[in-house]
């Protein structure tokens, strides 16, 4: 007889830590990372990163670790009881108890963050942009990618990155739509640029993420993604799709390939080539700008409950961030204590020995009369 599945609904999300500070919570999470570390005594403790669709939370388990050490692995789901508190101005969870959840106890939509935007509208926005292409070769190629049902399904759902930016379901599509809009605006200001080429590069520059990343339980890399990276995968995808277009210009193919392999902009960031023509340079800078602005927006959102306008250290940007909107909010001045009303004469209290004598009555001295007896 099968066990009856429990209600999978979560009643606590990581974004609600501020409301539960210094309280014990019981909730469910996905294990983003798992490490076993030694205490000063040599005994092991667990250092976990737990996640749900609202964010991630560092967690530590100090006691009874041996009982659960082999009970779960990364990407498993856990039911956890523990204390929410702050350490170095960041929330963390001290775990008291945990157990691994079965598949029937899990609602997967609770654990992976998802764009709040309408996926259908984002996809239609891309289609509308592509419909305006003047170059028939680029137009047919990108429309062929969009008409591929497997690519469409993956493109609409994939994150744009594992952690750095747009790390949520629909993140890739959200990122590319943003790039289309930004690149379109810049091309209007620089009419010498080939707009169709820029937008085609924007569509293709991260399409390999649909095979590089896996996102069934948490965001991680596939074996193919680890070994090849999304740029190599993209070159393979481009070559496979171009088989359908035997008369596609060879020169245009080379430009697309360069857009793909140079969009990270620097050798140290994984680009085997630096951007060498204007459209490639524009794609790199717009991609870099969009990813950094999204990283800042997400960081401000994660720490919106903090009073300080300064965030914690942002690892991807290598600096703490200042939330200018919060910084510019006028600070309310402390209320001044009301001054006591002036004391009346009857309320005046005089300390002994400090009495002020009343002024004497005015004495009128009569003029001296002359003595007539002399």
* pLDDT tens digits for range 117-149: 899 999 999 999 999 999 999 999 999 999 999
As a whole number of angstroms, the distance between CA 323 and CA 286 comes to 22
How many other C-beta atoms can be found within 10 angstroms of the C-beta atom of residue 316?
15
As a whole number of angstroms, the distance between CA 150 and CA 159 comes to 16
As a whole number of angstroms, the distance between CA 182 and CA 287 comes to 9
Query: Confidence band (pLDDT; 50, 70, 90) for 336?
Result: low
- Helical H segments across 229-372, by residue range: 230-242, 250-262, 278-302, 324-327
For the entire predicted model, the pTM comes to 0.71
Measured in Å, how far apart are the chain's first and last C-alpha atoms? Answer: 147
What the block records as the tokens of 159 is: 């994150």
Provide the phi-psi class of 337: left if phi over 0, else alpha when psi is between -120 and 50, else beta: beta
Q: What is the dihedral of CA 171, 177, 183, 187, to 10 degrees?
A: 170
| Mean pLDDT to the nearest integer, 318-337 | 82
Query: Which of 30-39, 49-58, 162-171, 195-204 comes out lowest in average pLDDT?
Result: 162-171
What the block records as the tokens of 17 is: 């830590």
Q: Are 137 and 238 in contact (CB under 8 A)?
A: no
Q: Is the pLDDT of residue 239 over 80?
A: yes
Q: Are 327 and 309 in contact (CB under 8 A)?
A: yes
Residue 168: φ, ψ to 5°: -155, 160
How many other C-beta atoms can be found within 10 angstroms of the C-beta atom of residue 11?
10
| Mean pLDDT to the nearest integer, 268-283 | 93
Residue given tokens 């990813």 in the structure block: 291
DSSP-derived secondary structure for 182-208: HHHHHHHH-TTS-HHHHHHHHHHTTTT
As a whole number of angstroms, the distance between CA 264 and CA 121 comes to 28
What the block records as the tokens of 334 is: 């402390």
- Paired strand residues for 28: 79
CA 356 distance to own-chain centroid: 73
pLDDT score for 132: 97
As a whole number of angstroms, the distance between CA 334 and CA 55 comes to 35
As a whole number of angstroms, the distance between CA 12 and CA 372 comes to 116
| Mean pLDDT to the nearest integer, 30-35 | 89
In percent, how much of the chain has pLDDT > 90?
47
As a whole number of angstroms, the distance between CA 109 and CA 99 comes to 20
Residue given tokens 């976990």 in the structure block: 48
Q: What is the CA radius of gyration of the chain?
A: 35
In percent, how much of the chain has pLDDT > 70?
82
As a whole number of angstroms, the distance between CA 370 and CA 268 comes to 122
């Amino acid at each position: 007889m099968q066990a009856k599945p429990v209600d999978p609904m979560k009643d606590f999300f990581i974004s609600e830590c501020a409301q539960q500070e210094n309280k014990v919570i019981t909730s469910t999470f996905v294990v983003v990372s798992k490490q076993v570390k030694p205490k000063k005594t040599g005994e092991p403790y667990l250092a976990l990163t737990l996640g749900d669709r609202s964010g991630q939370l560092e967690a530590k388990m100090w006691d009874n670790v041996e009982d659960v050490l082999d009970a779960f692995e990364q990407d498993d789901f856990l039911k956890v009881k523990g204390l929410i508190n702050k350490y170095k101005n960041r929330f963390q969870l001290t775990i008291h108890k945990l157990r691994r959840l079965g598949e029937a106890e899990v609602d997967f939509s609770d654990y992976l963050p998802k764009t709040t935007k309408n996926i259908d509208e984002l996809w239609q926005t891309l289609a509308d942009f592509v419909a305006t292409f003047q170059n028939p070769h680029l137009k047919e190629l990108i429309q062929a990618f969009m008409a591929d049902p497997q690519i469409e399904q993956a493109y609409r759902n994939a994150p744009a990155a594992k952690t750095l930016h747009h790390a949520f379901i629909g993140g890739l599509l959200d990122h590319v739509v943003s790039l289309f809009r930004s690149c379109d605006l810049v091309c209007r200001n620089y009419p010498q640029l080939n707009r169709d080429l820029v937008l085609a590069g924007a569509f293709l520059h991260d399409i390999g993420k649909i095979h590089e990343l896996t996102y069934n339980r948490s965001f991680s890399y596939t074996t193919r993604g680890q070994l090849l990276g999304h740029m190599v995968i993209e070159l393979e995808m481009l070559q496979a799709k171009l088989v359908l277009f035997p008369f596609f210009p060879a020169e245009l193919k080379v430009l697309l390939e360069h857009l793909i392999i140079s969009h990270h902009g620097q050798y140290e960031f994984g680009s085997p080539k630096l951007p060498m023509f204007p459209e490639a340079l524009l794609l790199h800078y717009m991609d870099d700008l969009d990813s950094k602005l999204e990283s800042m927006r997400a960081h401000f959102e994660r720490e919106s409950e903090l009073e300080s306008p300064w965030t914690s250290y942002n690892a991807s940007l290598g600096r703490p961030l200042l939330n200018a909107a919060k910084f510019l909010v006028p600070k309310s001045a402390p209320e001044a204590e009301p001054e006591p009303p002036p004391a009346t004469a009857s309320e005046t209290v005089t300390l002994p020995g400090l009495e002020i004598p009343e002024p004497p009555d005015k004495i009128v001295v009569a003029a001296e009369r002359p003595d007539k007896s002399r």
